[in-house]
């Protein structure tokens, strides 16, 4: 190898990337300027396109096209959407897999947890509201900061007593607000209102829902499709409700002496949706109205 | 490349020739002005001793798959090692929160609880040590998919079926600012709606979603129109981690004396502007750390036939 004396340093840093075009006058500059201009326009279009697509996510939110039932302890909807980091840790801890993550059709709601109560309600099989415990950002919370909004009718009068824990030293759930409220939406379809009995599988052999039954196993929710019910008067929404004093069967005696029945939702209803899941009528005669306050 | 210059380039500016060149570097530059025959002989010599491998790529793919599968199996098999998704998780109980997701949530919600802060701080420390944008190439599931589709893009380019359309790299900084402002003003984590990183991570753990269609659309766009467009020009996660990586001791280092200026490294690089220093005459010193926008993916280390690019840890030279 030839060692050149290092005297030619005045000419260091030569241009390594040879320019493809001939350095002819007048031609080069416009081509380069044109390509720079094209690149700039292309970039501007991309910024507009990506941001436009992103903002499309506002449409489903603004039109409130779906009113989702959120997991227990969820903040008010707008606070939930701003604080949820979409990690699904709440999904992972739920023993009955009631919580799912929303899809792109919900716009900014993508990845935010919800409960489809008819398919699988929150039955508090976890005892301690595990999803709240798992949430890293406080989207689901036991006690929300005073600065965040609370609507009238959302706070519960007192901590709800979990029927499954009634014999425990601490029978209540750490839950300050309801996530919705149940309503007998189709009283004419209700078996109890019709004075009818019910026997068999509440939701048929294909339903995948599970429900805690302390009489069977406190820690292992049973599959509804394996567990037939036998009732002279259908009262599944009342008997299977996990919360004490949240729903009752009203009995009235008419002038002719005949007895009439009607499930009545009480103020302690937290909106868990078990009544909606268990209702054997299709579509359900009783449903949870997501995020709705208690109205006397 | 100086720290400041590296940051400048990361935010979209074109790399500049150095003003000050050390005497040693000048000497090497001038030594390299030799006859073509000398140069070819030297090159062949170096090639014989340094066969191109896929060592770092294979290690990286293994780590990436392992991390993402750990998320998946923690849920599926209920082994509870790494619960959650890439946006936020718990590693055997310790909170980990993605920096960009945390930023979006903090800006949108304007209320920071302790767990969010702890998780964010932990992840900041981890990636400050491990190289910042190494998150992109060693963990992000979209990076892997995009890498595979990039191969398809390059095949099509070689056959002249498609061509690469470049954008101005500065738009990524624009996106970063706009997404931050949108989170703050609208109160929604707007970027998360589009983020293929979050969408893919959740799909791997909780099952497929319609949102995967968007990811596929992005990949198709990258194949037929613009090489690695999302990672190069859009993703604010990359810029966030790039800023963290600017203080990281783990980086790729360029060794001028071993370089033959063949440019193979720039051809495989996701962010070739960080390798501006390898152009003949551009290196200001014998050893130059590659800038903060580097994802530490190691493709250049693998492809360099003469060992001029190596992983180093500042203060622990030649450890790796």
Return the closest-CA partner of residue B193 out of A120, A85, A279: A85
Residues counted in chain A: 296
Maximum distance among all Cα pairs of chain B, rounded to whole angstroms = 67
The segments of chain B whose pLDDT lies below 50 read 320
Q: What percentage of chain A's residues is helix, strand, coil (to nearest 5)?
A: 25, 20, 55
Check A4 against B33: CB less than 8 A apart. Answer: yes
pTM (2 decimals)?
0.87
CB A213 within 8 A of CB A223: no
Q: Would you call A101 and B206 a contact, using CB atoms and an 8 Å cutoff?
A: yes
Select the residue of B84, B113, B199 nearest A89 (Cβ to Cβ). Answer: B84
pLDDT confidence tier of residue A17, bands split at 50, 70 and 90: very low
Owning domain of residue A133: 67-290
Non-local CB neighbours of B270 within 8 Å, separated by 6+ positions = B136, B137, B228, B231, B232, B295, B297, B299
Helix B236-245 to helix B99-109 angle, to the nearest 10 degrees? 110
* Contact assessment for residue A156 and residue A177, using Cβ atoms and an 8 Å cutoff: yes
Domain assignment present for A124: yes
- For A224: left if phi > 0, alpha if psi spans -120 to 50, otherwise beta; the answer is alpha
pLDDT of residue B318: 56
The backbone region for B72, taken as left when phi is positive above 0, alpha when psi lies in -120 to 50, beta otherwise, is: alpha
- If phi > 0 it is left, if psi is from -120 to 50 it is alpha, else beta; for residue A144 that is beta
DSSP code for A155: B
Which of A13, A139, A141, A143 is most worth mutating to test chain B (most B CB atoms within 10 A of its CB)? A13
Binary contact (A43, B116; C-beta < 8 A): no
CB spacing of B75 vs A145 below 8 angstroms: no
CA distances from B285 to A174, A274, B27, B277 (A): 63, 70, 10, 10
Residue B294 is classified by DSSP as -
Indicate the number of domains in chain A. 1
How is chain B split into domains, by residue range? 3-49+249-313, 61-243
Asked if residue A210 is part of any domain, the answer here is yes
Q: pLDDT tens, B3-19?
A: 888 899 999 899 888 88
- Given a cut of 60, whether residue A114 has pLDDT beyond it is yes
Instruction: Look at residue A271 and tell me if it is in a domain.
Output: yes
The β-bridge partners of A200 are A229
Task: Indicate which of A19, A35, A82 best probes the interface with B, i.e. most B CBs within 10 Å of its own CB.
Answer: A82
Those residues with Cβ within 8 angstroms of residue B133's Cβ, 6 or more apart along the chain or in another chain: B238, B241, B242, B245, B292, B293, B294, B295, B296
Q: What is the pLDDT of residue A253?
A: 93
Of A17 and A128, the structure prediction assigns the larger pLDDT to A128
Distance from CA of A198 to the nearest CA of B (A): 36
CA atoms of B205 and B208, how far apart (whole Å)? 9
| Average pLDDT, rounded, for chain A | 89
More confident position, A259 or B49: A259
Are the C-beta atoms of A129 and A180 separated by less than 8 Å? Answer: no
Instruction: Please tell me which of the candidates B30, B35, B171 has its beta carbon nearest to residue A43.
Output: B171
Position B301 scores a pLDDT of 94
How confident is the model at residue B26, as a pLDDT? 87
Q: What is the pLDDT of residues B130-147, one digit of tens each?
A: 999 999 999 999 999 999
Report the complex ipTM.
Answer: 0.86
Residue A22 pLDDT > 90, yes or no?
A: no
Residue A34 placed within a domain: no
């Amino acid at each position: 190898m030839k060692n050149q004396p290092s005297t030619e340093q005045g000419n260091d840093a030569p241009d390594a990337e040879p320019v493809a075009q001939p350095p002819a006058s007048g031609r080069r500059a416009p081509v380069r300027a044109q390509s720079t201009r094209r690149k700039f326009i292309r970039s501007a279009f991309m910024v507009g396109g990506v941001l436009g697509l992103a903002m499309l996510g506002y449409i489903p939110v603004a039109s409130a096209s779906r009113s989702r039932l959120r997991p227990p302890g969820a903040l008010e909807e707008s606070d939930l959407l701003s604080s949820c980091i979409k990690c699904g840790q709440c999904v992972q801890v739920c023993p009955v897999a009631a919580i799912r993550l929303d899809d792109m059709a919900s716009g900014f709601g993508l990845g935010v947890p919800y409960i489809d109560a008819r398919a699988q309600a929150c039955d508090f099989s976890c005892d301690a509201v595990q999803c709240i415990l798992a949430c890293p950002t406080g989207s689901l919370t036991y006690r929300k900061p005073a600065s965040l909004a609370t609507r009238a009718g959302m706070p519960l009068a007192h901590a709800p007593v979990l029927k499954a824990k009634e014999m425990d030293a601490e029978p209540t759930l750490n839950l300050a607000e309801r996530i919705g409220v149940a309503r007998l939406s189709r009283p004419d379809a209700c078996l109890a209102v019709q004075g009818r009995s019910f026997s068999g599988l509440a939701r048929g052999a294909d339903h995948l829902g599970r429900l805690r039954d302390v009489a069977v196993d406190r820690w292992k929710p049973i599959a509804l499709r394996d567990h037939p019910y036998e009732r002279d008067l259908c009262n599944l929404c009342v008997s299977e409700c996990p919360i004490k004093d949240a729903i009752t069967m009203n009995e009235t005696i008419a002038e002719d002496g005949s007895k009439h029945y009607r499930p009545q939702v009480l103020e302690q209803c937290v909106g868990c949706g078990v009544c909606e899941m268990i209702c054997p009528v299709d579509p359900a005669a009783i449903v949870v109205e997501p995020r709705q306050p208690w109205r006397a | 490349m100086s720290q400041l210059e590296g940051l400048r380039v990361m935010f979209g500016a074109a790399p500049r020739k150095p003003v000050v060149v050390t005497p040693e570097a000048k000497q090497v530059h001038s030594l390299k002005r030799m006859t073509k025959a000398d140069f070819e002989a030297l090159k062949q010599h170096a090639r014989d001793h340094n066969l191109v491998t896929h060592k770092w790529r294979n290690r990286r793919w293994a780590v990436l798959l392992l991390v993402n599968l750990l998320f998946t199996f923690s849920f599926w098999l209920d082994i509870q090692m790494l619960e959650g998704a890439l946006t936020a998780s718990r590693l055997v109980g310790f909170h980990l929160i993605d920096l960009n997701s945390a930023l979006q949530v903090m800006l949108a919600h304007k209320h920071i609880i302790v767990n969010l802060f702890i998780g964010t701080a932990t992840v900041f420390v981890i990636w400050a040590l491990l190289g910042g944008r190494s998150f992109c190439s060693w963990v992000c599931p979209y990076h892997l998919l995009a890498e595979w589709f990039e191969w398809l893009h390059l095949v099509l380019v070689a056959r002249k079926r498609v061509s690469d359309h470049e954008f101005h790299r500065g738009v990524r900084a624009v996106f970063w600012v706009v997404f931050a402002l949108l989170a703050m003003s609208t109160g929604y984590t707007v970027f998360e709606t589009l983020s293929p990183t979050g969408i893919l991570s959740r799909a791997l753990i909780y099952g497929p979603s319609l949102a995967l269609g968007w990811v596929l659309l992005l990949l198709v766009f990258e194949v037929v129109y613009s090489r690695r467009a999302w990672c190069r020009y859009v993703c604010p996660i990359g810029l966030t981690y790039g800023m963290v990586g600017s203080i990281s001791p783990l980086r790729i280092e360029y060794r001028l004396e071993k370089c033959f200026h063949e440019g193979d490294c720039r051809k495989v690089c996701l962010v070739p502007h960080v390798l501006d220093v390898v152009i003949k005459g551009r290196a200001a010193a014998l050893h130059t750390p590659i800038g903060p926008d580097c994802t530490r993916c190691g493709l250049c280390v693998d492809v360099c036939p003469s060992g001029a690019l190596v992983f180093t840890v500042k203060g622990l030279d030649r450890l790796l």
